Structure 1
């Protein structure tokens, strides 16, 4: 029985090209190596003795750099190709991470974080475009899911390894490891994956599939992005206000909060690929799945209004996890499928910028509401935002249905 279940699970990972597996491997190495990031605020405050206000300012430069990098990476992927952008981004950011440990002034750190994140986050949209080039059309959502699994595993391994390095070598060791993993990852990619000039994904047989030829004229896509932004704002509460709320309201330890986050990671690891595979095989409409994801995310936030029973945190995490599994892989896939020929990079750039913006807005808005009005007001605000996001998803579904009717 167990062997049968294991075989069924492993079957979800069949059918990928060699290039997709290599992309997954380098994504895992890169994300596991990005261990500076979870400890960055701590390093700036405790080692460099910056005030919390200064740390906040540096993180704003971090976020702006991330957004600019996402845009540049997408735009340049369309003009000079994703392959060159991926190699430039990881190789250069690896070298810059080595240099970052020698920056100790506030102004220098603001400029350094902006430059590093601009170059480092050029990688993300280029990587998404590469999935479109190397994955078969029928495997594209599963390929995205596979890479997401690598990201989740990398993020799970990174902080633990980072903690060990800090204890034994100090913060400086993180910069050396982070830079080295960036360079190792891209050398594997360069040696094992050949540049693909043309992809079957770009040579669509149905050029009329998308009715616009510029991302700025695609009304449907922008409504979808606002819904995606809302989902991101709700989800990132998990890493900003929620851990603090655990301690304040229920007196949870760091270990208990960590276990709840681990529950999220374990469920994603074991369930996301089978869920995506099932939805793909049964040809369920991607937009409908995304709508359910936003609805589940909204329910998870509203559940936090129950502030007298700690068990609600487990129920909330279950809803949040399923919301994540419905929303993220299919939002990625919809964004890619929406892009017309020669515009994949730009579409994926704006898509990844949406999450960068969500990260900045989520922390700032969430903590401001908590400071002024309390946690209950924040959960209510986020929940109402979620209802708006769900309604926007329904609007996107109707607009796409109308496009389909016009074509036929």
Structure 2
């Protein structure tokens, strides 16, 4: 895709992430404190948001392989803008839950399309492309999370309106800079009409299936940090501000690690090595959590978690890109976000069940066991299928 520069894709990812980070951090607080909705109902609302995100990711990825991605992206970003305008005007109950469900669908759709479009940049290694996108995605989260409290203190209407303006700006960026994907995809589409569609080799299908299952488990356990670790820390006597500082460390750490990874790209670390290293670091973070009773223990655990996600998470879509045929890039990039979204949706529920039937410590022990299983499964598959996997451009 010669007409599309990585910087415009990175900017689009930044704006999308920044806009959505004005919404998700305050959902529970706004619904509970302002609209006086029960925590159980809030849980259902968040679950619906995650489910619609899975649907949006899957559908967006599949349609990318069949239709012009320029128009698909314009439609989805425009729909997001309209939804945010509606949310700015009608954000009482139950309108808020309705808009949030639609936002989940559009958010999943947008992420799947941006990731799929990134696979068409062939003059830069896919590993570097996805590292850059992950960096800008987290920059959006850092900036958005730091501003959301300020705007929220002024007016929730202002907050949603600012998010809408950001997506209006994103529409302009896409209209001006993404026209190149029109002709590129048209050429690809015409080529597919005149030749047999490449069927994904069975070894690739096996490994990708295992990788998606691993991604689901990884996210189910990762979500314990966003849902249950905060409660665990407060029960140990730590103020909530201490927990918030951990996420500041996480955000800053991700940006720093991505910059380091960009430098280390010259040493040709493979996506497989990044994934294995990342899973190892995630495993150790939960080992540390089992024994953490001082704040420094939680800081160390968060540093390990950050190191794990910053190395593994961008490497997974990069590897999926190389293992998926050109006519199915969107399908499998959509699957990456769909399986991750499913893990995010199931994580709090599964964690709550484990805690209620056992304890927080057992939750962390089960996380360690599952991560070890994932580590062995992925590593074994890479060893067994070594030399048997087919890599595509």
Q: What is the TM-score of this pair, normalised by structure 2?
A: 0.89
Deviation at 1:352, TM superposition (A): 0.5
Runs (4+) off by over 6 Å: 201-204, 214-217
Deviation at 1:211, TM superposition (A): 8.8
**1:263: Cα distance to partner?**
1.6
Bigger shift: residues 342-351 or 365-374: 365-374
Contact 1:27 / 1:185 at 8 angstroms: preserved in 2?
Answer: no
Distance in 1 (alpha carbons) for counterparts of 2:139 and 2:97 = 29
Aligned to 2:194: none
Q: Give the length in aligned residue pairs.
A: 381
2:146 maps to what in 1?
160
Moved more, 129-138 or 343-352: 129-138
Output aligned runs, 1:76-155, within 5 Å: 76-101=63-88, 102=90, 104-106=92-94, 108-138=95-125, 140-155=126-141
Matched residue SS, 2:92: coil
Residues 25/344 of structure 1: CA separation in 2 closer, same or farther (3 Å cut)? same
Change in Cα spacing, 1:96 to 1:21, as seen in structure 2 (3 Å) is: same
Q: Is residue 212–residue 218 contact of structure 1 (8 Å, CA) maintained in 2?
A: no
Query: How many Å apart are 1:325 and its aligned residue?
Result: 2.1
Aligned-partner SS, 1:95: helix
Q: Which of residues 234, 240, 252 in structure 1 aligns to 2:221?
A: 234
Classify the secondary structure of the residue corresponding to 1:133.
Answer: coil
State which drifts further: 377-386 or 116-125: 116-125
Measure the CA separation in 1 of the matches of 2:295 and 2:241: 15
**Residue equivalent to 2:13:** 27
CA displacement 1:167-221 (0-9 Å, x = unmatched): 11x212222111221121121221133232337x9799xxxxx994389981110
- Aligned pair 1:387/2:383, yes or no? no
**Does residue 304 of structure 1 match 2:289?**
yes
Tell me, yes or no, if structure 1 residue 397 matches structure 2 residue 382.
Answer: yes
When structure 1 is superposed on structure 2, of 383-392 and 140-149 the one drifting more is 140-149
Residue 265 of structure 1 aligns with which residue?
251
Q: Does 1:328 align with 2:328?
A: no
Match of 2:162 among 152, 158, 177: 177
Structure 2 residue 358 is the aligned partner of structure 1 residue 373: yes
The alignment status of 1:194 with 2:182, answered yes or no, reads no
* Contact persistence 1:69–1:122 (CA under 8 A): yes
Aligned equivalents of 2:354, 2:209: Cα separation in 1: 27
**Relative to structure 1, is the Cα distance of residues 154 and 349 closer, same or farther in structure 2, using a 3 angstrom cutoff?**
same
Alignment-derived partner of residue 3 in structure 1: none
SS of equivalent to 2:268:
coil
Gaps of 5+ in 1: 1-15, 205-209
Q: Residue 41 of structure 2 corresponds to which residue in structure 1? A: 54
**Aligned-partner Cα distance in 2 for 1:217–1:325:** 24
**Alignment RMSD (CA, Å):** 2.8
